[in-house]
Chains A and B, each alone.
Chain A
Amino acid sequence: GIQVEQSPPDLILQEGANSTLRCNFSDSVNNLQWFHQNPWGQLINLFYIPSGTKQNGRLSATTVATERYSLLYISSSQTTDSGVYFCAVEAYTGNQFYFGTGTSLTVIP
């Protein structure tokens, strides 16, 4: 199956700082999503972004499908941004949705 790698694995930020999370994938994809798993374990949809750039408030994401990576930008981080951020992809060749290993973000006041 397709390999999905995320970096960095862990990140600690001061409140108000900016960050960039990266997702690399090993094959062509027709679906890519970013999720935030909050400290209560809920998976929250952030972006559906198989290609291009999207913005939602302080968060934005860019996927460069031809180079097989996606970036999630968090600006002016807040303590409520803490949790684990997952990238998930669906390859062209199958119906399976593969998750990366996640980036654990801690925002300290």
Chain B
Amino acid sequence: NAGVTQTPKFRILKIGQSMTLQCAQDMNHNYMYWYRQDPGMGLKLIYYSVGAGITDKGEVPNGYNVSRSTTEDFPLRLELAAPSQTSVYFCASSGRARNTEAFFGQGTRLTVV
């Protein structure tokens, strides 16, 4: 099993550009999450999904969009990138029900210049 796979691992964007961070899991998990981690800080929840077709905002959703058309994939879209979005982004997934262990991807390091 690959677990949770994120692509790309690194990316540099110019201010105003857009991009999509990809996240895929092969564990048939219903729950998926996107977090950002700023330097020296903990992880903040951006968006989450409890199943295909269902998404909801987390603590810091502004400037981002998500979609969940399949169980496996949960892409995160950045529109009009800003320097404040420079961060490391982590995708995670957890089981088919609540109260199950979460697994994280390797992270995507994004720099906006």
Contact = CB atoms under 8 A, between A and B. Distances in A.
A48 to B, nearest CB: 4
Interface residues of B, number: 27
Given A41-B88, A41-B107, A42-B106, A95 B101 contact: no
Contact of B31 (A30, A50, A95): A95
Given A43-B90, A101-B42, A31 B50 contact: no
A42 B101 contact: no
Contacts of A72: none
B82 to A, nearest CB: 22
Nearest to B44: A99
B104 interface: yes
A15 B35 CA distance: 33
Counting contact residues on chain A (CB < 8 A from B), the size range is 20 to 34
A30 B100 CA distance: 9
A32 to B, nearest CB: 10
B108 to A, nearest CB: 10
B110 interface: no
Chain B residues touching A, majority SS: strand
Contacts of A102: 42
A88 interface: yes
A33 B100 CA distance: 10
Contacts of A98: 45
Given A31-B102, A95-B50, A96-B48, 12 more contacts: A31-B100, A33-B102, A41-B88, A88-B43, A95-B98, A96-B45, A97-B33, A97-B45, A97-B92, A97-B94, A101-B41, A101-B42
